[in-house]
Amino acid sequence: MSAKSLRNLIQYSILLMLLTLLGLFLLYPIALTVRGGFAEDPATGTGWTLDHLRLVFEDPLQITGLINSLKIAIAVTTTCIIISLPLATLSARFTFPGKKILNAAILVPLILPPFVGAIGISKLMGREGALNAMLGTDWDLLGNGKFWGVVIVEALHLYPIIYLNTVASLANLDPALDESAENLGAGGWKRFFKITLPLIRPGLFAGSTIVFIWSFTELGTPLMFDYSTVTPVQIFYGLKEVQNNAEPYALTLVLLFSAIMIYILGKLVFGRKGYAMYSKASRAGGETPLKPFWGFMATIAFGAVTVLALMPHIGVVLTSLAEPGSWYSSALPESLTFSHFEQALTAGESFNSIKNSLILSLLAMILNMGFGVLIGYILVRTKVIGRGLLDSLCMLPLAVPGLVMAFGYVAMTLRFPFGAGDPLEGTLAVFGTDPNPFPLLIIAYAVRRLPYIVRSTVAGLEQTSGELEEAAVNLGATRVAAVRKVIIPLIMANLIAGGLLVFSFSMLEVSDSLILAQRSDHFPITKMIYEFTNRLGDGQYIASAMGVWGMTLLTVTLVGSSVMMGKKLGSIFRDKFPWYTALNDDGDFLGFAKSGAWSPRGGYNWTAEITIYLADHAKGKGIGKALYSKLLETLKAQRFQVIVAGVAEPNPASVKLHQSIGMERTGYNKTMGYKHGEWIDVGYYQMILGDLSNPPPPVLSVSEALSTLDTLLRATHILRSAWTATLLYDESPFDTKCMIDPKTGSFIVAIMDDALDARDITLACPRDSFDSRVRIAVDLSNDVSEEQSDRFTAYHLPATTPLLAVATYEYAKLDSGEVVTPENCPLVNPLVSVMGSLCKALNSDRDRLSRLCEELSGVEHESPLAVGVDGTGIDIRASFGLVRLKLPSMISNPESALDSVNALLEKCDAMIEAIAEHSQTHKPDQWVLAHSARPEAWSDTRWPTRQELDHAADGRPVCAWCFDYHALVASSGALEHAKIDQHTKIDRGIMELAHDGTPTGVLYELAALRLWDCVPEPDADARKLLVLSACTHLEALGFNEVHDLKSQPWLGPLLAELRDEGQTTLSFELFPLIPDLEATLATRDQWESDQLKLAGTKIFTDGTLNSRTAWMLDPYTDTKTTGTPMMTPSEIDDAMLLSKSHGLPVAAHAIGDGAVRAVLDSIERTQSTNMGARIEHLELVHDEDIQRFAKLGVIASVQPCHLLPDIESLRACLSDRLDRVLPLRSLLESGLIAGLVASRDAPTARGYG
């Protein structure tokens, strides 16, 4: 068995084990609960009947319990909204004294379980409580039925949940909406109820749902108030008869279904999608300072709610300090004691319960940390089928009420294989003479809190590069050892933080503890608190003391978890010192260079020690110097001032290496170290890396120092790759032999100053690596220092560097030997000035396009530069070339019925002449295919007529594509083949007609595709030759990865065949159109591999701006139409759901703001968020939709180069909304991960000259 097969076997085995365990301890208990409600025989769980459910609804007491539970949930939710909504509005809209402190204090109620707070609230607000004693009244505020006691305690505990959701929703509102309503005369209250409240309804509903279900199924608080006529308490009291009585099953089933139905009803009534179009604010709303009086009143309001919310905590603390009997009808206890705290820790029963909780919670934490690593590893580091199911199951405990889960565990102990007479009888037992609930309590705690550890671990793994693990494996470590010694230390902060949350919430878990522990020696702390409250004498006082200990523990662990994550302990291991590994093309390990602390003392914080290791076969090839150069570059970017290296001597090669990078020998120690079985002498070498400023600036982490550099270097490779591939594949501007001359090729990289962190940047281009043909050129107004070395050219750029993005190439026509230069190639010269002006203008969003109009006027050259914004973290490796193209979307096959004219043309007459010349040497029935630039960019700015094509091609069928496959012009022969005439009706397609009503031959969108479908395709042999030719060209230029954004079903098998035959080593990611997905999936198992993947799907939702077929929200100013939607919203939904069902992201062509919104709405409706979906060729975005990209995890694929050919159309058709075109700055500021990626859907934007 190969290593890869063994690894896959292990991964699937782990996945199967995890799914089995979750099925047994998560799904099985829920299923047993549901099954028990319908079982005819409750003892065996067999048979089917509805009698148990009928009896529940016929029993007045059970109906009363259900109604009371519903009334509690409604009252608690309403109270929480009444408390939270005004406070959230104050917090989001205004500033007032003490706001920061009060915002934090208002969340304090979350640290005390409400059932413990019931003790305190009874002491304060009961008939004989402190409030009546202070006021001299006899109010019964809690009521004889305890209803309001339950409501008050739960509301004071849960209102922060609604508060947090409401504040978040208010923060996302666009203040322009409120301002517009105010300008129209709407008053404050009207604006709130008509605008603000409807817009925050989804967030308000989300928080209210959590509060409602929590209070509807809450067991502990009604128990503490002895409020027995509620369904959760009735279930609790019925547990002892569960072996022979189906009533508890039926009650639990009714509770579960009621919660689900109420949620669905609430979703339909209050959580509708009617306001889904409203997104986060396009600009931040300012907070208005309140006038002194109103600011004081706001502070009082916050303070009053905070004090009121703390009343249960205050009551519990005072009760724990009161002497038994000393706090009765008095404002405060008459005498105090600390003895209850001692008793809580030392008394036999209480101490035993604390010990039980500590052990159970600790074991649950350890269990969850272990499984968290396994689950996180499967979810993040593998591609196994079934990961999505595993992820969903891990999150399920958040949605299932704790009472239902606890009851399910009870039911599980009574069924196979744990029931009487079964193989595992007694292993898990809640009832009986010898119960054993400990394993079940550990499992219950672990399962209930599993989401905390999984999300924390997944976050840590996603932040940790998988290359570190691979480097360890390449050095000889096993996969298990690599995970244990590399990965786990790197994510230890996440594990500890998640583990602390599991531990703390398990310590104070209520439902599982109350239900599963039925004997006193098994009681956890929460069950013992409940038992103490029912004990006469000092019971309530010891229970309160135990509650205070629980509050303290929860506070300490939550603060510890927050501090642990806040300090990003993982980054201390992972991110302080850089480490680089060298691999060859086959992935074999060559060596590494790493750095570390010179001394742990604070005075040496700016000094780093470096070391290097090279494999024997890698020595003497310059690899060591390259590794060190990259390491020093990073250390300098981190602001280290001095580097030191220790060299075992004698070692001439190592000494030479360290001296070659500029280090000087400063010391020598004899017998300083022990290595390879002997004591060695060590020579010390030093180098001043920084400017030794006084004081030195703080040292940055690796990620902080290189965020800018990595982005720009990635852009360098990717942008270069994108244009090269377009030229090669489209066989332009010359012919199939066209290649970039490595000696003359040049490239200028994009630098964004305020899009990225403002700090000094160093760019370095290694001369003898993959970038040997690339020269980084800097054309800036600022002073830029240049540094040369044997292997690098480095440019040191200050933080004030302006935005600049230019890409130029010079070509060599190899068949004739003619060298194309800027003097004889019109592509080069205008490109520099135009793109420089264009990208500098992108620093400003509003009105930037109108300022460019004059600069771009008359420019007839479309830039090959493509800039995108990466919103979901696509893996783009700086050391590899990456290209995204359609392969092949235009093909030439002289041996078949196809012929191709694919030239860079400057005017319509040139295309007609090329077609005429091309047609003379071919058969009369042969198709002539042409592809050229958009007619608007030609000097004569006109389409060829159908008659001109007929004459030029001498009757042959001609299909001449323009507008990048959105429009074409066809000859009469081609129209006849497609059976298109003036009477043809084509849905979502446009056919241009002449004055006499006959077709001009110009077809747009689906009309053009209808004709294209009539063009004969090449046979399999021709396809193979064409694809192989393209692959050969790409490999010759250093590419190793291709993204095909319009792949056809036959491409996957063909590429697999070429790879198997060893004819290409390229990796491919394929994105078929939705209609081709089924055919692609049919053969997927035959060709997909790690190097050849089905990576997504492609859809077209609209057309282009030039043809006025881009789908707009508002009509074009010249045509008064809104474009031509290529898909309906339901069709987009179907495409999203189909792709989602196969775990594939969608790449959606959407240029107009209407299409963009339709795609975003569909992603939200179909819950296809954070799947890697992207909107391709984004040009126009409504302000309300900008924030949605980051919110939904959608990539905004932006190409500024499209402005060049579109500029005249934009002036003519969108003059009233130029500020919405290409909002790159707003997208970068909206929360997307700023990055430059290739957005080439070749040949989307072509160069011509």
Judged against a pLDDT cut of 50, whether residue 425 lies above it is answered with yes
Residue 263 exposed, middle or buried by CB count within 10 Å (0-12, 13-18, 19+): middle
Among residues 1163, 1165, 1166, which one has the least CA distance to residue 1195? 1163
Judged against a pLDDT cut of 80, whether residue 115 lies above it is answered with no
pLDDT of residue 195: 74
**Range with the lowest mean pLDDT among 72-81, 327-336, 473-482, 1103-1112?**
473-482
Q: Which residue has the higher pLDDT, 819 or 1050?
A: 1050
Separation of CA 64 from chain center: 46
- Rounded CA-CA distance 290/93 in Å is 10
Among residues 409, 1245, 1224, which one has the least CA distance to residue 871? 1224
pLDDT of residue 1146: 92
- Rounded CA-CA distance 887/644 in Å is 51
Torsion, Cα of 1034, 1039, 1040, 1045 (10° steps): -70
Q: Are 746 and 777 in contact (CB under 8 A)?
A: yes
pLDDT of residue 1155: 95
Q: Which CATH architecture has domain 53-321?
A: Orthogonal Bundle (1.10)
**Range with the lowest mean pLDDT among 230-244, 828-842, 1137-1151, 1208-1222?**
828-842
pLDDT in tens, 884-912: 232 222 233 333 333 344 444 557 887 78
Q: Are 18 and 378 in contact (CB under 8 A)?
A: yes
Q: Are 460 and 490 in contact (CB under 8 A)?
A: yes
pLDDT in tens, 686-728: 999 888 887 888 787 765 565 433 333 333 332 222 222 222 2
- Rounded CA-CA distance 1207/1105 in Å is 10
- Exposure class string for 1081-1094: b at 16+ Cβ within 10 A, else e: beebeebbeebbbb
Which is it for the CA torsion 1020, 1021, 1022, 1026, positive or negative?
Answer: positive
pLDDT of residue 270: 60
Q: Take residue 431 and report the two structure tokens written for it.
A: 């009832």
pLDDT in tens, 231-242: 998 888 887 677
pLDDT of residue 1206: 66
**Range with the lowest mean pLDDT among 97-106, 629-638, 927-936, 1103-1112?**
927-936
Q: Where in the chain is the domain with CATH 1.10.3720.10?
A: 3-49+342-461+493-562, 53-321
- Rounded CA-CA distance 905/1247 in Å is 10
Bin 1120: left if φ > 0, else alpha if -120 < ψ < 50, else beta: left
- Roughly how many angstroms between the first and final C-alpha of the chain, as a whole number? 56
- 1226 to 719, 754, 1220: CA distances (angstroms): 22, 12, 10
Separation of CA 667 from chain center: 50
pLDDT of residue 895: 33
The arrangement of strands across the sheet holding 1195-1198 comes to: 1097-1100, 1146-1149, 1174-1178, 1195-1198
Other residues' Cβ atoms within 10 Å of the Cβ of residue 497:
26
Q: Are 1176 and 1151 in contact (CB under 8 A)?
A: no
**DSSP state for residue 402 in the 8-state scheme:** H
Percent over 70 (pLDDT), the chain: 69
pLDDT in tens, 994-1039: 888 889 889 888 888 888 888 777 778 877 877 786 677 666 544 5
Q: How does DSSP assign 483-507, residue by residue?
A: IIIIIHHHTHHHHHHHHHHHHHHHH
pLDDT of residue 1080: 94
Residue 184 exposed, middle or buried by CB count within 10 Å (0-12, 13-18, 19+): exposed
Residue 747 exposed, middle or buried by CB count within 10 Å (0-12, 13-18, 19+): buried
Average the pLDDT over 765-769 and give the result: 35
Q: Which residue has the higher pLDDT, 930 or 221?
A: 221
Q: Which CATH architecture has domain 3-49+342-461+493-562?
A: Orthogonal Bundle (1.10)
- Rounded CA-CA distance 1145/745 in Å is 35
Which is it for the CA torsion 397, 400, 403, 407, positive or negative?
Answer: negative
Average the pLDDT over 820-842 and give the result: 28
Give the mean pLDDT of the chain. 72
- Bridge partners (DSSP) of residue 1174 are 1147, 1195
Confidence at 865, pLDDT banded by 50, 70, 90: very low
Q: Are 1229 and 284 in contact (CB under 8 A)?
A: no
For 1057, phi then psi, to 5°, come to: -65, -45
pLDDT in tens, 497-528: 778 778 877 887 888 888 888 888 889 988 88
Q: Are 1031 and 1063 in contact (CB under 8 A)?
A: yes
Among residues 1084, 1073, 1027, which one has the least CA distance to residue 1048? 1073
Write the CATH number of the domain with boundaries 892-1017: 3.10.310.70
Confidence at 77, pLDDT banded by 50, 70, 90: very high
* 1116-1125, long-range: CB < 8 A, 24+ apart: 1116/1213, 1116/1214, 1117/1212, 1117/1213, 1117/1214, 1117/1215, 1117/1216, 1118/1212, 1118/1213, 1119/1213, 1122/1154, 1123/1152, 1123/1154, 1123/1155, 1124/988, 1124/989, 1124/990, 1124/1004, 1124/1005, 1125/988, 1125/1101, 1125/1154, 1125/1155, 1125/1158
pLDDT of residue 369: 92
Judged against a pLDDT cut of 60, whether residue 754 lies above it is answered with no
Q: Take residue 581 and report the two structure tokens written for it.
A: 């590994």
650 preceded by a cis bond (ω within 30 of 0): yes
Q: Where in the chain is the domain with CATH 3.40.630.30?
A: 575-688
For 816, phi then psi, to 5°, come to: -105, -10
Q: Where in the chain is the domain with CATH 3.10.310.70?
A: 892-1017
- Rounded CA-CA distance 851/859 in Å is 15
* 474-482, long-range: CB < 8 A, 24+ apart: 474/581, 474/583, 474/587, 474/588, 474/589, 475/589, 479/7, 479/10
For 1049, phi then psi, to 5°, come to: -55, -30
- 440 to 228, 372, 501: CA distances (angstroms): 26, 19, 20
289 preceded by a cis bond (ω within 30 of 0): no
Confidence at 1101, pLDDT banded by 50, 70, 90: very high
Residue with the two structure tokens 């999936």: 1081
What are the start-end ranges of the H helices in 567-639?
569-574, 623-637
Separation of CA 541 from chain center: 49
pLDDT of residue 237: 80
- Rounded CA-CA distance 1117/1091 in Å is 48
pLDDT in tens, 867-885: 222 222 222 211 122 232 3
- Rounded CA-CA distance 376/253 in Å is 33
pLDDT of residue 228: 83
Q: Take residue 713 and report the two structure tokens written for it.
A: 């270097």
Confidence at 17, pLDDT banded by 50, 70, 90: very high
Judged against a pLDDT cut of 80, whether residue 133 lies above it is answered with yes
- 462 to 70, 376, 377, 378, 872: CA distances (angstroms): 42, 9, 10, 12, 12
pLDDT in tens, 318-361: 999 988 878 877 888 888 888 888 888 877 677 888 889 989 99
Which is it for the CA torsion 66, 72, 78, 84, positive or negative?
Answer: negative
Q: Are 475 and 481 in contact (CB under 8 A)?
A: no
Judged against a pLDDT cut of 60, whether residue 846 lies above it is answered with no
Q: Which residue has the higher pLDDT, 241 or 33?
A: 33
Residue with the two structure tokens 């409020």: 227
- Rounded CA-CA distance 1137/339 in Å is 63
| CB-side neighbour CA atoms (13 Å) of 961 | 23
Q: Are 968 and 1008 in contact (CB under 8 A)?
A: yes
Q: Take residue 116 and report the two structure tokens written for it.
A: 């413990």
Q: Domain spanning 575-688: which CATH class is it, in words?
A: alpha beta
